[in-house]
Amino acid sequence: MTPLIIVTLVVVWQFVLVGYTFTLAGNAADEAVRAGTAAHPGERQAVCEQAGKEKLSDAWQSGAQVSCSSSAGFVTADVTLQVPVLFPGAIAFPFEVHGHAGAVEEEDD
C-alpha cells in the first residue's frame, strides 16, 4: 500500500509543477507585454525579454524564451518555459509550456 501512496504523491506533485509552470508562463507574458507597451519600438525586444524573465526563479529562467512583436499599435508577448521533472532546476520534460499576452501600445504625449 505504501508504494502506491508514494507513487500517487509523486504524480500529484508533477501535476502541480505543470500547473505552476503554466501560471508562471502567463504571468511572465503579462509582465513582458506591460513593459513592451511602454518601451520605444527599437528597445522593445530587450525590455520585453528582461521584464519577462525578471520574476522567474533560476529554475525556470534558464530555459525561458521571451519574444515580443507589434503590429498596428498592438504589442504581443510570447513566453516559452520548460516543465521540470520533480525538482525545479534539475531535468526538464521534452515539452514546453507557452504563455501569450497582448496589449495596446502606449502613446507619448
* pLDDT, tens only, 33-74: 998 888 887 888 888 988 888 888 888 788 888 999 888 888
How many C-beta atoms surround the C-beta of residue 38 within 10 A? 14
Mean pLDDT for the chain?
86
- Which residues make beta-bridge pairs with 84? 92
How far is it, in rounded angstroms, from Cα 109 to Cα 106?
A: 10
Q: What's the pTM value of the predicted model, to 2 decimals?
A: 0.83
